[in-house]
Structure 1
Amino acid sequence: MNAKKIAGEKAADYVKDGMTVGLGTGSTVYWTILKLGERVKQGLELRGVPTSERTRQLAEQLGIPLVPLAEAEPLDLTIDGADEISDELDLIKGGGGALFREKMVALASKRLLIVADESKRVQRLGAFPLPVEVVPFAWEVTARRIERLGCHPRLRLADKGTFLTDNGNFILDCDCGLIAEPAVLNRKLKELTGVVDTGLFIGMADTVIIGASEGAKTVERQCGTDA
């Protein structure tokens, strides 16, 4: 069975009647949203806060009621995916380009639940290029400043030119090597004028559900053990 589907559907069990839920972006949380759409048709009451236009469109198609983040804080729960998950449950996100909205919604939530397949688990972050959202104005200057921190940025492209986030910004995919101190790198990047935010989600994930062919495994930050 599809490991992403296993993890995504398992996460939907955490959503209870009357909750306000952040709806993440990506190929694993897609299955969560589909399952929530089924449960809404069966009578589940919830309000969703989408983290991207793509997620908004999917939720609307499924009949999931949506509310703007500004009217929803604090959210009960956000369910989202990740590109890498370290042993400390720190994350790299942003492969889909929605990192800024994902971080805004996650920070407004009482709990962040991450869903992924086994391939996303790593001992140390950094094999996956770190997405950094930057303003388009003089992005080359920002890229040079990022390079001085020991990372090698590459402008993300799309079929019709430069990739644009839902906020109208650019993404620099940065090869930083294995990251020894993710919190330090995140702080240094965010101090650079021109950087909107980074794909480093440090100390934010409360629960991680890892899907595998034989089932789902849950890791909780507070106990640090597998269940």
Structure 2
Amino acid sequence: MDQQTYEKKMVGEKAAEYIKDGMIVGLGTGSTVAFTTKKLADRIKAENLSIQAVSTSHATSKLAESLGISLLDLNDVQKIDLTIDGCDEFDPELNGIKGGGGALLFEKIVAQASDRNIWVADASKAVNQLGAFPLPVEVLRFGWRHMFRAMEEKGLHPKLRMNGEEPFLTDSKNYILDCHAKAIDDAKALAGWLNALPGVVENGLFINICDQVLAADHDKVKVINR
């Protein structure tokens, strides 16, 4: 196991300790949260816990169901007690970029429906300023080139995400434009500009959403609170 995978496993499994009996839990998407999901399944069996979950993607649903975790439709849930998710970057204020796995829309909806949000992150995810990781923007397929041009004129250097020779499709069958801004000076303003652009479904800037990050720090987990 390489160092990054070790860190993902360490923080992912640690996050499962925050889940208590009777909770409705949001399960994020990605390789780090996959360790959380597997550890949660082990805890449910070993401790006979009553846990129900809401998934943020088809991939997470498939994994959770294979492990015997009971899933609920978000529409049938009043609120989620705790959501555990990964991130692609987070800054000192715990704002972040998410969507590298393509699930930013469902992830943001679930996060907003949650009382508390914890992100799990290997050491590479901590940054002083957001933007080094390409910012995903989910857009409708209808007229996407017009959104592309608007982002290009804004200096965001967008690229259409591909899956082999075909455009990548989100779970909602939309496209993703990855914006290579390199540095984002005002994340809140940029998020507002993007969401005001007709055809943009959602952007990958998660602002004032995360409550706590469990970050890998060598061989231990560092807890960072907002």
CA distance in 2, matches of 1:66, 1:212: 32
58-67 vs 206-215, which moves further: 206-215
The alignment partner of 1:28 has SS state of helix
2:52 aligned partner: 47
CA distance in 2, matches of 1:40, 1:136: 41
Deviation at 1:214, TM superposition (A): 1.2
2:161 aligned partner: 156
The residue type paired with residue 168 of structure 1 is: K
Compute the TM-score of the two structures, normalised by the length of structure 2: 0.96
1:24 aligned partner: 28
Mapping 1:126-137, distance limit 5 Å: 126-137=131-142
Output one character per residue of 1:161-205: Cα deviation in whole Å (capped at 9) or x when no partner: 110000000000001120010000000000000100000000110
Q: How many residue pairs were aligned?
A: 221
What percent identity do the matched residue pairs reach?
Answer: 51
* Residue 15 (structure 2) pairs with residue 8 (structure 1): no
Output one character per residue of 1:86-129: Cα deviation in whole Å (capped at 9) or x when no partner: 11100000000000000000000000100010100000000000
Output one character per residue of 1:28-66: Cα deviation in whole Å (capped at 9) or x when no partner: 111000000111112111110000000000000000000
2:101 aligned partner: 96
Deviation at 1:215, TM superposition (A): 1.1
Alpha-carbon RMSD across the aligned residues, in angstroms, is: 0.9
Compute the TM-score of the two structures, normalised by the length of structure 1: 0.95
1:179 aligned partner: 184
CA distance in 1, matches of 2:45, 2:67: 9
* Residue 119 (structure 2) pairs with residue 114 (structure 1): yes
The alignment partner of 2:18 has SS state of coil
Output one character per residue of 1:130-166: Cα deviation in whole Å (capped at 9) or x when no partner: 0000000111011111222221110000025110000
Unaligned runs of 5+ in 2: none
* Residue 52 (structure 2) pairs with residue 64 (structure 1): no
Contact 1:40/1:63 (CA < 8 Å) preserved in 2?
no
The alignment partner of 1:57 has SS state of helix
1:225 aligned partner: none
Unaligned runs of 5+ in 1: 222-227
The residue type paired with residue 49 of structure 1 is: V
Structure holding more helix per residue: 2
